[in-house]
Each structure stands twice: as C-alpha cells, then as structure tokens.
Amino acid sequence: MNDYFTLPDKGMTSEDILALLEQCKKSDAKWQNGRMFGYVYSPETKAVELMTKVNELYLFENALNTSLFPSIAQGEIQIVSIAARLLNGDASVAGSVTSGGTESILLAMKACREYIHKQKPTLKDPEVILPWSVHPAFHKAAQLLGIKAILLPLQNDYRADCNALVRLINEKTILIVGSAPSYSHGVVDPIEEMGKIALERNLFFHVDSCLGGFFLPFMEKLDYKIPLFDFRIPGVTSISADMHKFGYGAKGASVILYRTKELWRSQFFVHCDWPGGLFGCTTFLGSRSGAPIMDALAMLMFHGMEGYMALTNKTMKAVEKLKSGICAIEGLSIVGEPVMCVLAFSSSKKDIYLIGDELHNRGWYIDRIMYPEALHLIITNPNLENTDRFLTDLQQCVKAVRHNTLKRVSAGVGIKLGKKLMTAFPGKTSKLLGLKASGSVDTKQSTGGKSSASFYGIASSIENKTNLNDIVLNYLERTHTAK
Ligand SMILES: *Cc1c(COP(=O)(O)O)cnc(C)c1O
C-alpha cells in the first residue's frame, strides 16, 4: 500500500487522485453550511462559477514577466485604480496587487524603510509604532525588515491611544500604523487624529484596511456613519486592502496603495549583477500566478458598485440582527463599538469560552480573542441566512453553560494549570491545541463529565507570553509533520 508520503512508482489516474482528495477533504471544515465565521469569503454561486473559469484561463500565466502577459499587467493596473478611487485617492496614488494582506503590509513597511534610508542614510535602528491591536503581520514584517516595533497602548474603547502615540514618537520613528478596522474588536483607530500627528512630525502613516478596504466605502455609500480612514486624511501615506476578503476574490489577492509614486517605487526590488539578465520585481514574490489577480478583477467587474453595495447592505442587516440578538441575551455584550461586520462579544459571567465550546459542539466555527476574553465573529456572505439559527443556538449554549455551575478557573489556578499543561508538552501539544477550534482543553475540571475549562481562559491569564509562544511553536511543528 502506498502511504502517499513517497512518490508513487507509477502515476495514478486522475479519477483515483480526485477520489482520494475527496476522501481526504472529508475532514475539512464545511464552511458551505454557513456555520463558519471568517476564513472563507465566498460570493454567490454565479460569481464562483466565473472565478472557476478565470482560474482556468490564467492557471499557468506568470505575473512575474508582464511583458509576456500584458493582460495581467493591465488587470493589476485596473484593480489598483479602482481601489484608489474607492479609497478617495487622487491621480498621484499608485500601488500594486499582492498575494495578501501580509505581503501588502510587508511592502508598505519596506517602502518606508527604503525611502527614509535614501533621505537619512545615517538613521540607525528605525522604529515603527504599532497599536497593540494591529494584525501580527506587522510584527512579522518588523522582524523581517529589522525595524523595531514599539507597542502603542489602546484606550478603553480599544482604539489606539493618541496621547501615548505622541509620547512614543522619537527621532528613530519612521512609521505609525492604524487599523480600519482592527481584526480583534472591529473598531477603527482614530485615523484623523493620527493623521494630524503624522503630518506634524513628518512621519509615514499606514492604514491597515485589509478588512475594511472593500467594505467601509460601500457602507458609506449606504449612508452608514463611518469615520474617515482613507486618503481624504492628508497624513495617510499608504493603505492596504484585501481583495480576498470583502472584495470576494479568491485567496491570494490584496492591494497596497501609496499616496505618491516615489513611495511606491521604494517598494520595488532590482538586481542586475548576476549572470541571468536584468531582474526586477514590483512586489515581494518572484514567479506568481496570474489567476488570483484576474479573479479579483473579475469580481470587481462582476459585482460593480451596485453589487457590492447590495452585498454590504445584506451583510449589515444580518450584523444588526446579530448584535441586538446577542445583547438581548442576559450577560452578553458587544465589545467596544465595532463599525462593520467584524465584532467580538463577551459575557459578564466569565463563561464566554465555555459558551464557545458549546457553540462548537453544535457545529459553529467561531474564533476566540484573549483581550478581553470574548468570542469573535466576521460575518460573511455564507453566514447571512443563518442568523436566526445562530441566535437560537447561542441562547441554548448560554443556558447549557449556566446550568452547569462550572466554576471558572481563577487566574492563579489558570497559571498553575497552564504550567502543568506545558510540562506535558510537546507530546500532547497537538492534541491540546488541535482543539483550538473549540478553544478548549480537558483539564478534568468538569463537574458534569464533558465540560472543559478553556485553554484560552488559561492562555489569557498567563503573564509570560513566551511560554505561550513555545506551545504554539510545538503545535505548528507537530501539525506540519507527517505522523
Ligand atoms: C487578514 C488581515 C491581515 C492579513 O492579511 P492576510 O491576507 O491574512 O495575509 C492584516 N490585517 C487585518 C486587519 C486583517 O484582517
């Protein structure tokens, strides 16, 4: 029997391979049933059919050399131009299509670093100021680029604290960052105020609108009150916006926009001193598929302003229903003031992760956040028909948990438990964290036999996050190693 970890001696038939994949895929999450929040941003069937055809057209085309494939270069220019207009940029705004938010963010930071380096070659150890709530991609980029990340605390409303920002700026600061909105709480940082500070101090200012870039503009057109977050704020120098989120494109497409061409050019990479000819890239990747780029363009064309507005409208109607439904359940409340369809909710009874476990048992895939302890929803197209079911289930989960009189693990006990769990690693890491989707670990705390204390409850009470890093590293290794 082939174990599939070695190259088969003889090739398999297409039928056998497809049958095998279908078999393997049975363990994947069934997002199509609308019970998964986030991760998958899938448009309606007709749009999906279109993307499947576009994928076929561009399966092998390489966007690295756009002189060979000018249609992709053209597609990229169209996407950038459409995004720039949506985000109220003028004719001087320039940018690129990248493989995702992470690459857009990496490039924005690289562009700033290069630009500043040309102007102030003596500046050593540059710093970027990052609100505590920014996406980890900024920390990844800072690590890769050798830029020091300075953490900016949040206000009580989970938005970046501008007073602290002013205090943290020094002569090494090259860039400040705000989110519109943040992943964790779905709130928009005080972009207008931050923009003023950036202008005054002559700093670059990146707005991470990976989630909001293709959603907030349509909300604004639908007359929702949205704080300004785009190029209308003079201090904003770059914006990232993901096509593969609310642009409803296939995975592998995001847009990075800059206020000026000069800043955009600082993102490019050129190397001519090797035997292989002149080499230049606008983005981070070398060879790259044309398919996600052209999928993204197809989605913009397919939906148009009207289509996106209709989708946004439908989504926000569902969000409003979910919000009021959640608040109507005793003890539950929305965290902060989320502006779009990204939000977290917590429980005054301190049992929110247990509620999350119960939801998981009923087939819902829902993320946890650690500060504050809360469950996290990104409401996308597949969820829209499911709001009533979600609220009914949520109500039942809350009841089930409260009947359970399960004692909440105190912070002290949590740390002890956490340490115990860690000494049990690495052997059990993947088993324990394999339950991440349920956010839970069986700690034998249960009174009824099947309820469990939350791994996340423990995780959020551990002060020393380096221990947590080890747990996650072990998890990554184990889940990416053949068993
Ligand atoms: C998703 C996301 C990112 C990172 O984007 P990827 O496409 O996952 O690389 C950055 N910022 C925010 C706010 C996001 O939601």
How confident is the model over 99-137, as pLDDT tens digits? Answer: 999 999 999 999 999 999 999 999 999 999 999 999 999
Q: Which two tokens stand for residue 208?
A: 């991470």
Atom of ligand 1 nearest to the CA of 182: 13
Pocket of ligand 1 (CB under 6 A): 100-102, 135, 137, 179, 183, 208, 210-211, 242, 254
User: Residue 57: pLDDT above 90?
Assistant: yes
Report the C-alpha gap between 255 and 242 in whole angstroms: 6
Residue located nearest, by CA, to atom 5 of ligand 1: 101
407 vs 182, residue with greater confidence: 182
**Predicted local confidence at residue 457, as pLDDT:** 66
User: Residue 438: pLDDT above 50?
Assistant: no
Q: Specify which residues 342 forms β-bridges with.
A: 378
**Predicted local confidence at residue 246, as pLDDT:** 98
441 vs 308, residue with greater confidence: 308
Report the C-alpha gap between 438 and 455 in whole angstroms: 9
Report the C-alpha gap between 51 and 63 in whole angstroms: 17
User: Residue 425: pLDDT above 50?
Assistant: no
Q: By C-alpha distance, which of 424, 407, 404 is closest to 416?
A: 424
Q: If you measure from the C-alpha of residue 254 to the centroid of ligand 1, how many angstroms do you get, rounded to a whole number?
A: 9
Q: If you measure from the C-alpha of residue 110 to the centroid of ligand 1, how many angstroms do you get, rounded to a whole number?
A: 17
41, 98, 102: which to mutate for ligand 1, most atoms within 8 A of CB?
Answer: 102
**Predicted local confidence at residue 428, as pLDDT:** 44
40, 135, 187: which to mutate for ligand 1, most atoms within 8 A of CB?
Answer: 135
pLDDT band at residue 448 using 50, 70 and 90 as cut-offs: very low
**Predicted local confidence at residue 466, as pLDDT:** 75
* Beta carbons within 10 angstroms of residue 277's beta carbon: 6
Atom of ligand 1 nearest to the CA of 183: 13
Report the C-alpha gap between 55 and 299 in whole angstroms: 12
405 vs 76, residue with greater confidence: 76
**Predicted local confidence at residue 483, as pLDDT:** 78
Q: By C-alpha distance, which of 48, 74, 79, 49 is closest to 61?
A: 74
Q: What's the whole-number mean pLDDT along residues 252-263?
A: 98
Q: If you measure from the C-alpha of residue 275 to the centroid of ligand 1, how many angstroms do you get, rounded to a whole number?
A: 37
User: Residue 328: pLDDT above 70?
Assistant: yes
Q: What's the whole-number mean pLDDT along residues 68-76?
A: 97
What dihedral angle (degrees, nearest 10) is formed by the CA atoms of 453, 154, 257, 199?
A: -170
Whole-Å CA distances, 309 to 300, 305, 306, 312: 12, 6, 5, 5
Atom of ligand 1 nearest to the CA of 102: 9
End-to-end CA distance of the chain: 16
Report the C-alpha gap between 322 and 108 in whole angstroms: 35
Q: What's the whole-number mean pLDDT along residues 281-295?
A: 97
**Predicted local confidence at residue 238, as pLDDT:** 98
Question: What is the per-residue pLDDT across 149-163, written as a single tens digit (0 to 9) for each?
Answer: 999 999 999 999 999
For the chain, give the secondary structure using H, E and C.
CCCCCCCCCCCCCHHHHHHHHHHHHCCCCCHHHCCECCCCCCCCHHHHHHHHHHHHHHCCCECCCCCCCHHHHHHHHHHHHHHHHHCCCCCCCEEEEECCHHHHHHHHHHHHHHHHHHHCCCCCCCEEEEECCCCHHHHHHHHHHCCEEEEECECCCCCECHHHHHHHCCCCEEEEEEECCCCCCCCCCCHHHHHHHHHHHCCEEEEECCCCCCCHHHHHHCCCCCCCCCCCCCCCCEEEEECCCCCCCCCCCEEEEECCHHHHHCCCEEECCCCCCCEEECCCCCCCECHHHHHHHHHHHHHHHHHHHHHHHHHHHHHHHHHHHHHCCCCEEECCCCCCCEEEEEECCCCHHHHHHHHHHCCCECEEECCCCEEEEECCHHHHHHHHHHHHHHHHHHHHHHHCCCCCCCHHHHHHHHHHHHHCCCCCHHHHHHHHHCCECCCCCCCCCCCCCEHHHHHHHCCCHHHHHHHHHHHHHHHCCCC
Q: By C-alpha distance, which of 246, 250, 247 is closest to 57?
A: 250
pLDDT band at residue 430 using 50, 70 and 90 as cut-offs: very low
Give residue for tokens 């197809």: 298
Q: Which two tokens stand for residue 364?
A: 């819902």
